[in-house]
Amino acid sequence: MSSGTLVICGHGMVAQRLLEHLCEGGHPFSRVVVLGAESEPAYNRVLLSSVLAGDATLDQLRLRDDAWFDANGVERYYGDPVTTIDRTYQQIITAAGRELAYDTLVLATGARPAPLGIPGDDLEGVLTFRDLRDTHQLIELSQRHGRAVVIGGGFLGLEAAEGLRCRGMAVTVLHRNPHLLNRQLDTTGSKLLAASLMQRGLSIRTGVRPCALLGKRRVRAVQLDDSNLVSTDLVITAAGITPNAGLAITAGLDCGRGIRVSRQLRTSDPAIFALGECCEIDGQTFGLVDPGYEQARVLAQVLKGSDQGAVFRSTTQPTRLKISGIPIFSCGQTRPDENTESIVWQDHGQNRYCRLLLRDGRLVGSVLFGETRDGPWYAEQIHKGNDLTPWRATLAFGRDYCEQAA
């Protein structure tokens, strides 16, 4: 079991979940300190899309108030990023020069938008969508400009695009892959999503690659590799994320794309742990909040000593998203191959779609669009790996039909 001072570097959604688990039923530390680079305590980052679209207020982002931290004895410092980890003296140093000794250090520094790496990506008007500051800036600029280009048709790019459209901007989404949200959806699902978004007024161009951002001081246009130009006032880059591992790299911790940790979230230094979007486990990094929450649960058990055998298992994590109000769910394999058969059900009237992928009678993947209530049940079937042949005729209609038919 750990003891002494626990220092948590980064106060985002996953660090807060760790604190919740640690404070539940008491923890072994004499002092718990959390340091955040942003100027406020952890908030619900997922809701930033709703704030941008004008559907949520800043108050709704709050996860815990000061009273909760005070009652649980959590010391906190904001707006002061950790700049150095001194592993020899087991202390961290912040940008403001604060020095803090630790017995156990947890790195929960998250990730940042991946740079485009093309000429012009440093022009004025080229923005990201990651935190509250970005969100305020986008809202403010949407009131002064008419056109925006979003680079990236993953969930973040689509949320940014839809938010700016709701603010009255004419928005074009550029996506490298021929299909939107290609990690989570199959071809039909992507097409349905594109059609719904275009119906709302977004302009979508897939299978295109921006090769330069043009303008003297401010961005004026995006140059595509097919020689076309898209004129714009703003560019929002949402083409993937990069784990914030710089601090760990400088401290000499083993890092790949992220900070390499064991399944117990331990780095190459036994006194230092990492979790959330900054970490890498078995070569895998993470871009959604649920795996981070599971890591927080495991790490709390390890630190409390309540279950020394606790390990993070990167099982097939379901993805549940709401792209501008359209529910989407996927789990496991999303595209058919020569070893799978598909069961497809589509309701054109209600814009609902379901594809189930079976291998040897067992469910290996599901994609749901428009209606996702049965998603967790399909995920359970994927994890259990049961032979579903007896339910085949009713499988696409969900749990209730299958159980009635049984």
Ligand X SMILES: Cc1cc2nc3c(=O)[nH]c(=O)nc-3n(C[C@H](O)[C@H](O)[C@H](O)COP(=O)(O)OP(=O)(O)OC[C@H]3O[C@@H](n4cnc5c(N)ncnc54)[C@H](O)[C@@H]3O)c2cc1C
Contact between 21 and ligand X (CB under 6 A)? Answer: no
Query: Are 243 and 285 in contact, with CB atoms under 8 Å apart?
Result: yes
CB of 215 to ligand X, least distance (A): 25
Binding flags for ligand X, 56-95, as an x/- string (CB under 6 A): -------------------------xx-------------
- Residue 189 is encoded by which pair of tokens? 């699902």
Residues between 163 and 182 with contacts to ligand X, criterion CB under 6 A: none
Contact between 332 and ligand X (CB under 6 A)? Answer: no
Contact between 255 and ligand X (CB under 6 A)? Answer: no
Instruction: Say how many CA atoms lie within 13 Å of 389 toward its Cβ.
Output: 4
CB of 34 to ligand X, least distance (A): 9
CB of 22 to ligand X, least distance (A): 15
Q: Which is nearer to ligand X, 241 or 354 (CB)?
A: 241
Strand partners, 130: none
Binding flags for ligand X, 306-325, as an x/- string (CB under 6 A): ---------------x----
CB of 356 to ligand X, least distance (A): 23
The span from the CA of 101 to the CA of 5, in Å, is: 7
The set of long-range contacts for 382-385, using a CB threshold of 8 Å and a minimum separation of 24, is 382/316, 382/331, 382/332, 383/315, 383/316
Mention every residue, 6+ apart, whose C-beta is less than 8 A from residue 280. 243, 255, 256, 257, 258, 259, 260, 261
Query: Are 121 and 113 in contact, with CB atoms under 8 Å apart?
Result: no
* Length of the chain (residues): 406
Residues between 34 and 53 with contacts to ligand X, criterion CB under 6 A: 35-38, 45-46, 48-49
One of 162, 277, 280, 294 touching ligand X (CB under 6 A): 277
Q: Which is nearer to ligand X, 169 or 395 (CB)?
A: 169
Contact between 288 and ligand X (CB under 6 A)? Answer: yes
CB of 36 to ligand X, least distance (A): 5
Contact segment (CB under 6 A) with ligand X among 10-18, 186-194, 255-263, 394-402 equals 10-18
Site size toward ligand X (CB under 6 A) is 33
The span from the CA of 338 to the CA of 369, in Å, is: 23
- Residue tagged 């998603």 (tokens): 375
The set of long-range contacts for 349-352, using a CB threshold of 8 Å and a minimum separation of 24, is 351/192, 351/196
154 DSSP 8-state letter: S
Contact between 12 and ligand X (CB under 6 A)? Answer: yes
Taking every pair of C-alpha atoms in the chain, what is the biggest distance, in angstroms? 67
- Three-class SS state of 313: coil
Residues between 116 and 155 with contacts to ligand X, criterion CB under 6 A: 129-130
Contact segment (CB under 6 A) with ligand X among 4-12, 60-68, 227-235, 361-369 equals 4-12
Interface residue list for ligand X (CB under 6 A): 9-15, 35-38, 45-46, 48-49, 81-82, 108-110, 129-130, 156, 159, 244, 247, 276-277, 288-290, 292, 321
